[in-house]
Each structure stands twice: as structure tokens, then as C-alpha cells.
Amino acid sequence: MADAAPLPKITYATLRADNEDLHAAYAAGIERARARLGDGYENLIGGAPRGGREHFEIRSPIDTDIVVAVVARGTRQDARDAIAAARAAQPAWRATPWRERLAVLRGVADRISDRQMEYAALVAFEVGKSRLEALGEVEEAADLIRYYCDVFEENEGYQRPMDNLGDPRVRTRSVLRPFGVFAVISPFNFPMALAMGPAAGAMMSGNTVVLKPATVASLSGLLLAEAIRDAGVPDGVFNIVCGPGETVGAELQENDGIDGIVFTGSYEVGMGIYRSFSRRFPKPTIIEMGGKNPAIVTASADLDAAAEGIMRSAFGFGGQKCSANSRVYVERSVHDELVRLLVGKAEKVVVGDPLQPETWLGPIIDGRAVKKYLDAATEARRDGTVFTGGERIGGGDFDRGFYVEPTVVGHLPASHRLFQDELFVPFTAVHAVDSLGEALALANDTIFGLTAGVYTGDPAEVDRFLDEIEAGVLYVNRRAGATTGAWPGVQPFGGWKGSGSTGKAGLSLYYPAQFMREQSHTIVE
């Protein structure tokens, strides 16, 4: 009997409704995940599980009666011990030849991919991701490792011979060396990819890591620890402490044993870390702080493609992406038609249990997000027009989860809060403009600069958009997503202005080098 054909690589753009083998594999993964619901988990410090006097429950946003996991609540002392374990492990890990480090990490990627179906189902239970989003994220976590390893290898471990001044006895070279111990503080919305990517970049460079995942997404981080342990990463090279930001997170920011930090989250918290983390001398501070991402639609655009791309980017994973398309600037002559098309697509979105294959949009993360959504809808009704949506979905099983309608609003002043504040809910605001120049000015009038998109049939307008927009990730005429959908090695992902701190992007060839510092060697023989 011939072997079954391998399943295709699953990204955010490849899952098809008619792929029966893939959906059958995911259904099996859901059953394996169900068998793990409610299990207890401990932190990992120096290769050993660490329990705690207190525990916290992670309940599913799909149905709050579902206990996804019970996790030991980490303390400041646990964080200190994890930092000490990472420091103790770092010299031997740094001394490990870089090719050997890459081989170990590629083994981690393989284990993540092998467990993709089960891990994706657990991510769905934990944060409410749809089938497409959950499967894509797990594979992205694995692909981030593979891509960064490839980049590291292509750069020969970042050891480069340099010129000399004519003396044959002199050899000079540039080498990049690890800093030591990195803290990684990861968010709930990409709980695997945005934990694994930074951790992998740090570890392959010879650093060791202490991860603090978002509390509501702690299980995803613990699953990564499971794959890392099973791949044979030495004890202490990767540590995880789950717990509140005010204790575990604060210790990672304040402890002098941390040599560098990676944070993904809100602008307010990120800027606080950026201002305070370095005290005695500068330390690497890699911060990604979200966005208020615009799409621009000109009169020459394919309006159906624009409406489709806006819908996908505004409402994918409930708008809970730092790259979500939360504001739209459209030329006045096509405003009404774009809104009509966008509303029609929003009203066809299937909202429900994200574990079901027909569901496109699951719940948002928690009650606080629901309140933020309802407050925004109230403001839109008061100050403008709600074209569609604006309500919490209730009745039956919906009452036990956090489900809301995809929402399109407009007729608001361009200075309105809903065009300025990152909401992280399925909510986008549309504003009519008289020219591309006006749209660009409004799009750039923000502290953020993460992603942006344009729809136009005029090549000159494309060139102007690419030249003048102030954002790090740009999309032109993209039906699959106006402002979302990056993939390792395909679209570098990093923000300008208040969206990022380094000017270098994740998912890109420059990323691993951020975890090292340059040293010049001049050797006279």
C-alpha cells in the first residue's frame, strides 16, 4: 500500500476548505487536545519542573466552562532562580559550536511541526484562534526557527574575515558574540510564534533564555518548552516562568542578570521597558508595540479586492493582531461603494466555535476586550455611524464565550479616537478623503508605524505610497489581506516610530544579529 501523500505546508494563506486530509488530521488533533484539557503544568527552571504554592486556571474564551490548563503561578523568586539557571548554562552553550546549536534547534522545529495538529487545537482552546489561524501559527513558530537557522548558516555564524593593511602576518576578522541571558516577554495573540521566534534567535546566537508568556496564554509557552526539552536543548538554556507581569515580568525587567530583553505588547508597557531597562549601560531592548494600521483605497482601485483585503485584515483573529487593519481612508467618489462591499463581506463572516471547520471568526480573548469593543461601538453610534456590527453575540453556547460582531463604522472626524487608539477587537473605521495626498497625511498622523496597505490601479500612486508611507510592512493590492499576513523569509515584519525599537524586522535576515554584539579581532602571527 502506497504511503499517504504528505500534507501541504500550512500558512495563513494555504488552508482550503476542501482539503479533507488536512481537516481529518486536525480533527484527530482536537481529540488529543481534549484529552489534555485541565491538566496541570509546572514552570521549567534549569531543566527541572518547578511547582508552586499557588496555581491559576486558564479558561477558554470559546466557553469559560472549559478549563484549558492549571498552571503553577511563578514568583519573583522563581524568576530569579530561572535567571541564575540561565546564567549558569550560558558559558557551555556559548562554547557549543554554532552548527551544533543550529542542529539542536532544527530538531525543536521538527517536533513542533510533528505536533502541529495537537498544538494548534490547544492554541485554539486557549486563545480562540480559528483553524486557519491556529494551524498557521504553529507552523510559523517552527518556520521561524528554520529560517533564522538558515540565515545564521548563510552568514557563516557571523564570523567574517576583514582586510589588512598589507602585512601578511596580520589576520583580522569581525565576529558577533552573544550578550548572555535574554528575557522574552510574549503576548497572547501569537503565543507560540512571538515566543519561539525571539527565543530561537537568542539561543542560536549562544544566549540563554527566560520566557514569560502572557498569563492567559501560558499553555502555549509550556508546549514550546515541551518541544524544546524533547529536542535535547541542554538544561538551563531555555527556562519558562508563568505568572503576572507585576511580579515575574517586573523581575525580568529589573534584574541585572538579564543582558537583553524582547517584549511584544502594548505601546504603554513597551515604552516603559524601553525607558527603564538600561541603567548602568545600554542593553539590547527589542520592543514591538503594535499598530493602528491604515489601508488606503483610491478611485482607481479594484474595490472588491480592497473590501476583501480589508475584511480579512480587520477581522482575522478578531482584530487581535498588531497588524490588524483598523482604519481605512478611501477616496470620496468610491466611498459608498467600498462601504457597501465591505459591509456585505463582514455580514457573511461565520462567527462561532473556532474548532469547527466552517468558522472563520472565533471569540475575542476576554471580558475586558468585550468591554473595549462595546465602548468603541457606543462612541461610534454617538459620534458617527455604525454601518454593521457593534453588538455582543449571545444566546446558547455564545453566552459562555466572548463573541462579538465584525464591525464597520464611519462618518467620524478624522481626529476621532477610533482612528488613533489601538483597540485589538474586530472593528474598523472608514473615512472619506479627497486625494491620495490627504490619505497619506492622515495615515502617517500617528505614533505607530507597523503595517499599511494601498489599493490602486495607478502605478504612480503605488510609487508614491511606497515612498511616503511611514510604516515598516507594506502591502499593495493584496486581496489576501490589506495589512496582515507576513511569513518568515517572505515578508520581514517590523515597525517604525512607536511600533518598534530597533529598525530591524522579525521574520527577516537581519533578526538573529540583534542578539549579538560585534567584536574585532586583530592577530599578529
Sheet with 170-178, strands from edge to edge, namely: 159-161, 170-178, 516-524
Residue 92 CB contacts under 8 Å (≥ 6 apart), including other chains = 234
Cα 524 vs. chain centroid, distance in angstroms?
47
Number of Cβ atoms within 10 Å of the Cβ of 459: 8
Cα 418 vs. chain centroid, distance in angstroms?
23
Q: Which residues are identified as catalytic?
A: 288, 322
Q: What SS3 state is found at 327?
A: strand
d(C-alpha 208, C-alpha 291), whole Å: 29
d(C-alpha 368, C-alpha 125), whole Å: 18
The C-alpha cell of 219 is what?
A: 499553555
Dihedral, 455, 459, 465, 467 alpha carbons, nearest 10: 160
The C-alpha cell of 503 is what?
A: 529598525
HEC profile of 394-463:
CCHHHHHCCCECCEEEECCCCCCHHHCCCCCCCEEEEEEECCHHHHHHHHHCCCCCCEEEEECCCHHHHH
